[in-house]
Structure 1
Amino acid sequence: MNDAVAPADDALALIACADDPASADTVAFARLIGARIGSGELLLLGLSRTELDALIARHFPRAAKRAGLPHAMLWSPHWAFVSELRALLLAHDVTAATHPTDAHCLATIIATACLRPDHLWRDLGLSGRDDVTAILERHYPGLVERNVNALRWKKFLAQEVALAHGRAVTGAPGCPGCEDFGFCYPVDAG
C-alpha cells in the first residue's frame, strides 16, 4: 500500500464509523488520528490511552477497539513546552468543539506535534498549512488574528508561548530539525 494513501484511507475508515460524519470536529479528528494509525504512531498524538479511547468513542462509536493502542504518552524533556502551549490554546479556545474534552484533546495533539522536526501540518499528518489554519480558525480565532505577520504556525505558537511567559522568543522544540529552520530563524551575519 502506498504510504501517502494510508492516512487518508484510515481517516475515511474512521469517518465511516462516525455518528456525525459531517461534523468539522469529527473530520478533523479522523484526519489527525488517521494519519497516525497506519504508521503505528498513535503515541505522537500525546494522548493517554484513556483520552484516545474516549475521543474515538465520542466521534467514531462504531470503530472496533484496536489492539495495540498506546497506554501512555511518550516521555519528552519538552513536556513543559507542551503543557504551556496546551494552556495557551485552551485559553484562546472559543469552545467550537462539540464536547468539552475535545478542546483538551485537540490542544494536546497540536502542542505535541510541535515536538516533531517538520512543518506543523506535516507533523499533524495533514495535507498543508491551510488545513492547520482551518483547525486553528475554528477553535482559536483570536489567536489566529494575532498572527499578523503570517508566521508559520509552529513558529508563531512557540513565539506566543515565550511571550506569554516573559521569555525570549525561540523556536518550538521540534523546529531545529526542520529543513526550513534557517528560513524561520536566520543566523544573524552580524
Structure 2
Amino acid sequence: MNVLDRNAHHALAVAGLLAMPCHDHARFDPNRPLLASLLAGQRLGEGCLPPDLGLGERTCRQLITEYFTGLLMPAFPRSTDKVPEWSDLQKLLADHRAGQHASELWVADIIATACTGADHLWQDLGLASRDELSRLMRVNFPTLAAANTGDMKWKKFLYRQFCAAEGIYVCPAPSCGVCKDYAKCFGPEQ
C-alpha cells in the first residue's frame, strides 16, 4: 500500500472511531483523537503495540468503554514482556505529565510500551505522522516536549533523558553538534 492509500485508510479509521459515542469527560479530552489514531493504526496492522496497548486488559477495556463506546474489544492474549527499562521510561513520562487529564498516564504506559519497537516512535505507535507524535508529547508531557529544542527523534530523546537522569552517558561526542551520528538523531523521519 502506498503512503497516500495508507494515510487515507488511517484517516477514515480515525474518523470512524471519533464518530463513536463516548463518555462526557472523554469528549473534551485532547487525547481522544490521538488515542483514536493509535487504535486506528493498530487495527490497520501498523506499529508494534499489543492488543491491550501495553495498558493491561482491564485498563484497555476501560479506555475503549469510556472513549469509544461500542467498539469491539480485541482478543487479549497474555500480556507481552516489557523491556527492562519500561518502568523507568513510564516514570520519566509520568513525572512530566501536564496534569490535566487522567488519560495522560495511559499515554505514558502506551509510549513506554511502544519504545520496544524497532522503528521511529510515531511508527511504533501506529500514528499517522511524526507531527502527531509531537502533538501528543506537547499535550501530555509539555516540559519534555519543550526540552526537545533540537527536534531530536522522540525515542532517542526519551532514552537520552532517561540515561541522563541515571547518569549514563553513551554518546561519544561532548555535544550533539559535533557527533558523527548527528543525522541519525536529528532531522526528518520518513
**Partner of residue 44 from structure 2, selected from 35, 38, 46:** 38
Q: TM-score, normalised by structure 1?
A: 0.76
Contact 2:49 2:114 in 1 (8 A): no
The letter for the 2-side match of 1:11 is: V
Name the residue aligned to 2:174.
Answer: none
Q: CA RMSD in A?
A: 2.6
Q: Offset of 1:116 from its aligned partner?
A: 0.7
Q: Which residue, out of 84, 91, 97, partners 1:87?
A: 91
Q: Which has the higher contact order (CA 8 A, sep 6+)?
A: 2
| Cα distance in structure 2, aligned partners of 1:131 and 1:39 | 18
SS in 1 for 2:85: helix
Structure 1 gaps of 5+ residues are: 171-180, 186-190
Unaligned stretches of 5+ in structure 2?
A: 172-180, 186-190
- Equivalent position of 2:18 in the other structure: 15
| Offset, 1:148 | 2.2
* Aligned mate of 2:33, from 12, 27, 31: 27
Deviations 1:136-166 (A, max 9, x none): 1111111111112221111100101111122
* 2:107 aligned residue: 106
TM-score, with structure 2 as normaliser: 0.76
Aligned with 2:76 (options 48, 70, 79):
70
Determine what percentage of the aligned residue pairs are the same residue. 29
Code of the aligned partner of 1:9:
L
Q: How many residues align?
A: 168
Q: Which residue of 2 aligns with 1:159?
A: 160
Structure 1 residues 141 and 42: alpha-carbon distance in aligned structure 2, compared to 1, 3 A threshold: closer
Deviation string, structure 1 residues 28-55 (Cα, Å, up to 9, x no partner): 1111112112329651621211111111
